[in-house]
Each structure stands twice: as C-alpha cells, then as structure tokens.
Structure 1
C-alpha cells in the first residue's frame, strides 16, 4: 500500500470515530440496562466466536469501505478490531507469511474466478488454515466449487462489504474452523488412547505368558529352554501339540469363534459351549499350561485384528473366559479321577 492508501485509512478511521461518538450521544430508549447485559465469560451466543481484538485481512483491488462492517463488529462486543487490506494476491500471501489473521475476506467476481481459485489454493498449500469468506456480486460456479474445495464460505451479494449477512458468514466460518479443530483434536486423542490400550494389551499378554512359563518351571524344573526366543518357543510348542494329535484339528477354529462370541456377548448363553470345549480339551489330555498358551495365542490374534476398536474390553472378557475355561477343565479332570 502507498502513502495515499495510508491517508485514506486515517481519514476513514477518523470518520468512524466521529460517527461512533454521535451514536453514543444519541438517546437509545430501547437499550437494555447494564445489569441485563450478559457477561462475556458466560456468553454462549454465536457472536462469542469473534474475539474483542479481531484481526481481519481484506483482499480486493480497491480499498474496501469497512466502516459499516466495523460498526457491526462493535455492536457485538468486538471493540478493538484490526482491519488490514491487501490489493494483490502477492501482497496477501506476503502478509500471511509474516502474520496470522482470524479471518480472510476476499472479493471476487466471475472475471477473476480463476485467479481467486489459484489464490485459495496458494493459501491452503502454504499451510494457512484461517477461515475464508469469498464475497461476490453475482453467483459463479467456479467460485462455488473453489469455496467447497478449499473450505471457504461464499457470500453472493451486490452490497459487497456492506452486505448485512457478511458478519454472519464470518461467524459461520469461525465456527466451522472451531469444529474442525475439535474434530482433529478428538481424533488425535482417540488414536493415542487406542495405542495405549494396544500397548497395555501386549504387556498383559506377555505377563500372562511369563506366568505360564514360571508355573511350568515350578512344576517341571528345567523343561523349558529360556535361551530361545519366547514367541518362537510358544509357537513351536503349540504346533508340535497339534501335529502330535494332542489338540484336535477342529478345536482351534471352534475356540477362536467361541472367544469372539464371548467377547461380544459375554458368558450369558455360552455355558454349554464352554463345557463342551472343556470336555474336548480334557479328552485330548491337555495340561492347563497348554490350554492357557493356546488361549493366549487366540487372544493375540483377535487383538491384532481389531483395527481402530478398543482392546481393553477384549482383554477383560478374554480373562473371564480363561478363568471359566480353567474351572470347567479342572472339573472335567476331577470327574475322570473319580471314575
């Protein structure tokens, strides 16, 4: 902007101050008492999205007449707005690279639709996510598509900067930005929670495997070779058990489906199925350690296939199934001993 533009801005500022002073002096019989005015801290109206020191950048070839818009801002409590102007796209991008704004107002028309679309693209590519409102005198399909593509509002009004709906469009753009920021924050928090739950599930599975191995060393000292990798050792034990016929071939798939159903429905109507598979495991003469290792392998398969779903619920239900399975397995062996 040149010196003439600065003089014009100073003249407009003086005119705005004089007009505001006359407005304060004029009687206002319909004005509410000061005690009825809501406090700014507890105001939940749409106007509360605009801060008192609202910083806004106008982009237009001619210097905008923003006195009326500034008065509307003052009416909703924005007492110290900072309104700046850029006459070209290059000047606007330069200002955006050095400063941050609460909102951008860009004047557009069908003749400059392509240039305005390129400006919107440059703004978004540069990393600026400020709310944007396009102001156009006539409707244009290219401007509408550009507004949808680059998340901007499009106001069609022949009044231009004096359009009564301009402030409402600015408020809506600010609210949409808040919703996007809240949505992104919730996504990040949800992803972090899922990662923590997955890590916790892996930790619990490793602890349960360690408990099974420690129990086995107490009962049969020296049976397990701890020099080999734990995960490879567990897979080898289970594969050898299946190959030797200790675990029937149809049990892994059946138990996996039982575990999935138990996680979804709970133990309500699955008691008969649990007793049936416990009898099959007892008939195969599987030890409690082998059953628990087999159970942990099925749980690990389900946890890895959860995707974006929670694993805490799966682990808690799986632990209940393991406890119930051990109880029924012990009862089966006790019946065999009594016979």
Structure 2
C-alpha cells in the first residue's frame, strides 16, 4: 500500500480512518459515478481521493504492475454469464504478481460457491445491489485496509519472533559450550588442587539423583526457586555426604539443562537458561555451605545419609 498518507481517526471507534488522499483502483464493467463515491468518502474524512478505473481483470493486473493503491475494489464476476471471469482467479493472479493491496470484493448476492472460492484469500466482501452507490462502501474499504494492515503486522511479528528465537538458541548454545569448556578444562581446576573424578563421583550417587534434579529443574523453570530452598538444601547435603565436588554437581546440572532444552521447541530458551542459572547458583551456594559446616564439624543433617543408605541397601539386594 502507498505510504505517507494522512490518516484521520474514526471518532466513533478511535481507530485510524481512511487516508485523506485515498488511492482506489476500481474494477467494473462500467465506470462508476466518481462524484457519488467522492461524496461518500468525504463523509468518512477522505477529502482528496484518487480514482483509477479498469474495465477488466486483465487491465487491472497490468496497472498493478506499474502502480500501487490503498485499496482494490473488484466485482465477484465480470463479463457475460457464459464467459464470466471470477474474482478468485483474479486474486490468484494478483498474489502471483506480488501485489499486496487490500481487496474488497463486491457482489449482489453470495452463495456457497462464491464464499468457498474467496475463502482462501485475505479480502472483504460487500453484498449490495448497487455497491458504488452504497453508503456502506467507505466503511468496507476501511475494513479491507485494516485487515491488510493487521495481516502485514502479524507477518512482521512472526518474522521478528522467529529471528528472536533463533538468536536465543544461538546464545544458549554458546553459553552451554562455554560451560562444557569450563567443566572439562583440567588446568583451571588443577590450580586449586582439585583432583575429583566426575565418573567416580557419579558412581557414588544414588540412581534417582538425576531424576530428582530433573524434576527440580523443571519446577524451577516454571515457578522459580523461591519455594524450593529446602529441596535444594537436601540435595546439597546428599552430594556432600557422597563426597561429590562442585564440578560433578554442575555436570549433572548441565546434562539436565541440555535435556530440557532439547524438548523446548520454539519456546524461549533464554527463560530456561536464566532460571537454570539461578538454580545452579543456589545449589553451588548450598554445596559450599554444607562443606563449610562439614569442615566445622557441625553436621549436615540426616537426609543425605538416609538416602545413601537406602540406595546401598537396594544395590545389595539386587546383587543377591
């Protein structure tokens, strides 16, 4: 649609009205009465309309390749009954030619065949015996323009959302790669005398720890970690009792985050990463506090010991 037109607002609905210099392409067998149409449009705040008329669909298609318009008005059928061309075939050609003008189709009556043929197209339909004389014509022109604007806005928002999702997925993958690098970089840990083995640490943990952490992560993503402090503290106690270091805890965290992101689809990965990072930070803090209490001989509570004992009994039973 042409831009830079002044749009007055509809005083009754508060929405933009028709452009002051409305450019209309009118298709009909006979040239409409421009004076009547101009008066109707003037009542809607359109004071300087510009009209172009084409007597056939073919002429309209040719003109659309050269000019753009604010709205295209075309009859449902044009020509003699035996060789009448339909608006559906015309609109198909309009779309194939790349034109994006709002379309208003006029018809004296509508039947199932016409409704079905026009259903796939983004157009408005005005049913009236003399549409060019109808006071409703400017209103339906405005509906066609707004419909096209909403469609274009939806396309723009959909495209922007896809770009945002793609950008977030790239950022998320970069963050995950950085976290993997940190966990596997031996030199970073050797400077602190870290000698933990992730594989050996994992073998000392009960089998349900990963499942427990998965549920904890899902709940955190959906609700936040504000009400999960006790569960996080118990998990940290278990890890300390099992002699698991922070690198193994973060490895478990990273594995569960990766699994969760794989099933995310088109939803926001940034939201998941933000909530997951909060959970990882709180778990790390609780883990550090538990180790501090252990070094101060203050005790860790019974939850981790009970869970390890339960798992040991289960393994012994399975070996018998």
For these two proteins, the number of residue pairs brought into alignment is: 285
Work out which of the residue numbers 204, 219, 238 in structure 1 matches 2:192.
219
- Displacement of 1:68 in angstroms is 0.6
- Displacement of 1:106 in angstroms is 0.8
Pair 1:84 & 2:36 matched: no
Partner of residue 31, structure 1: none
Work out which of the residue numbers 14, 26, 37 in structure 2 matches 1:58.
26
Work out which of the residue numbers 42, 47, 72 in structure 2 matches 1:104.
72
Stretch moving more, 304-313 or 51-60 = 304-313
- Displacement of 1:162 in angstroms is 0.7
Distance 2:97 2:207 in 1: 59
Partner of residue 176, structure 2: 205
Tell me, what secondary structure is at the counterpart of 1:248? coil
TM-score (norm 2): 0.77
Distance 2:138 2:8 in 1: 21
Pair 1:161 & 2:132 matched: yes
Change (3 A) 1:78 1:171: same
- Displacement of 1:261 in angstroms is 0.7
Partner of residue 281, structure 1: 239
Distance 2:10 2:253 in 1: 53
TM-score (norm 1): 0.74
- Displacement of 1:131 in angstroms is 1.1
Greater per-residue helix proportion: 1
Distance 1:41 1:92 in 2: 26
Work out which of the residue numbers 272, 295, 309 in structure 2 matches 1:314.
272
Distance 1:108 1:250 in 2: 67
Partner of residue 67, structure 1: 35
* Alignment RMSD: 2.9
Partner of residue 112, structure 2: 141
Instruction: Indicate conservation of the 8 Å contact 2:57/2:90, yes or no.
Output: yes
Stretch moving more, 104-113 or 93-102 = 104-113
Where does 1:24-35 land on structure 2 (aligned, <5 Å)?
none
Pair 1:177 & 2:135 matched: no
Gapped runs of 5+ residues in structure 2?
Answer: 1-5, 300-320
Work out which of the residue numbers 81, 105, 115 in structure 1 matches 2:86.
115
Instruction: Indicate conservation of the 8 Å contact 1:113/1:142, yes or no.
Output: no
Tell me, what secondary structure is at the counterpart of 1:58? strand
Tell me, what secondary structure is at the counterpart of 1:149? coil
Tell me, what secondary structure is at the counterpart of 2:52? strand
Deviations 1:117-136 (A, max 9, x none): 21122222332221111111
Instruction: Indicate conservation of the 8 Å contact 1:109/1:137, yes or no.
Output: no
Change (3 A) 1:168 1:113: farther
Instruction: Indicate conservation of the 8 Å contact 2:107/2:127, yes or no.
Output: yes
Deviations 1:29-83 (A, max 9, x none): xxxxxxxxxxx67745478442222211111222222321122223434333221
Distance 1:158 1:52 in 2: 27
Partner of residue 265, structure 1: 223
